[in-house]
Structure formats: structure tokens, C-alpha cells
Amino acid sequence: MKTKRRKNVVILSGADGPTSIFLAGKRKRLSLIEWFKDWRNQRKQKKIKKTITVNPHSMEEVIRYAKAKYHAVELTSDARNFIEVRRSHKEGLVFLKRPDPEDELPMDFHLYEIRKGNEEIEMAVDFYWNILNISHQGNRKTWKQGEEIVKDLYRYYSVTRKDVEENSERYKNLVRILSE
């Protein structure tokens, strides 16, 4: 009697119980272009992982660095996008951390802005949960400059040796951002 092979089964949701959804059958082969893009991204991420140094900085140090090097300015709670960014940050925290009501979720949220010509960079920082989110927007001419600033700030924030050994979310995010 032949044994069934499990490598062609994908579990979409649920555990291994009756609520699971399984997809059985052979996976579609990647086209040559898809395979090449995947291979190139993996190679790029390997190179980036080798360049990451273990030199973590605290959130306060990152803020001081951004203020000194890029003239970051903290936005007040009356700013046009502060409430929107804070609300979306809080929704993300509730989704990730725990499903408690929004009022019971403590936060120490600050929003900083860096402007370089047409490029606008926002740093959303939560000191309580130790979360740093940086986004930027601008036109095609200044996009690369904004990307370099974002990468520089994330590289300065860096990771701990424990993050690298455990392949933590912070480490994965740093690799993903630097490989873009």
C-alpha cells in the first residue's frame, strides 16, 4: 500500500482539525521570470543579512538622530494627519497584541515629520510598545532620496544579537526594508 505524500497539501486556515481548509494537488511551477525574480530577491536578502551589524539604539536615540541629521519635527496632536495615523497605529496594535477595547490599550505615541523638498517622511513612534514605523511619499524625482533616508533611519535603529539569532520580527522587517 502506498503512503500519501504531504508535500503537495497546503493548509489555508485553522489547525489540523475539522475547520481546516486544505488544497491538495501539485503546485503550479513558477515561470522562468518568476523564478528569476524570486532567486534575485533571495540573493539580495542574503547579501543584506551579511551587512546588518548588531548595534541597537533606543527609540530616544533614533529620534535624536533623526532630529540632528534630518531636522525631524514632532507634530502636535492637532496636526492634520496625527489623529489618522494614531488611529491606524492603535488598530494595528489591537490586532497584533490583544483584542481588548481601544480605551484599555496604553500607548505613548509620537509622530515626527521630515521634509526634504517634495519628499515627506513620517516617523510614527510608540515608546510603550517599542514600535517604529517610517513611511514616505513624494514625486519620482525625490523618491530615491526618501528611500535612502528611511533605510538610514532603520539601519540606525538596528537589531540586537538576540533578534538575529531568533530571526525576530524586528530583524525580518529590517531585512525586508533594506532589500526594497
Q: What is the residue extent of each domain of the chain?
A: 46-179
Q: Is 33 strand, coil or helix?
A: helix
Average pLDDT on 66-77 reads 90
Alpha-carbon span 176 to 170, nearest angstrom:
10
Residue burial 75-110, b: 16+ Cβ < 10 Å; e: rest? beeeeeebeebbeebeeebeeeeeeeeeeeeeeebb
| pTM of the complete model | 0.67
Q: Residue 152 pLDDT > 90, yes or no?
A: yes
Q: Residue 161 pLDDT > 70, yes or no?
A: yes
Query: What tens digit of pLDDT does each residue of 13-69 get?
Result: 555 555 556 556 666 787 889 999 999 999 999 999 998 888 898 889 999 999 999
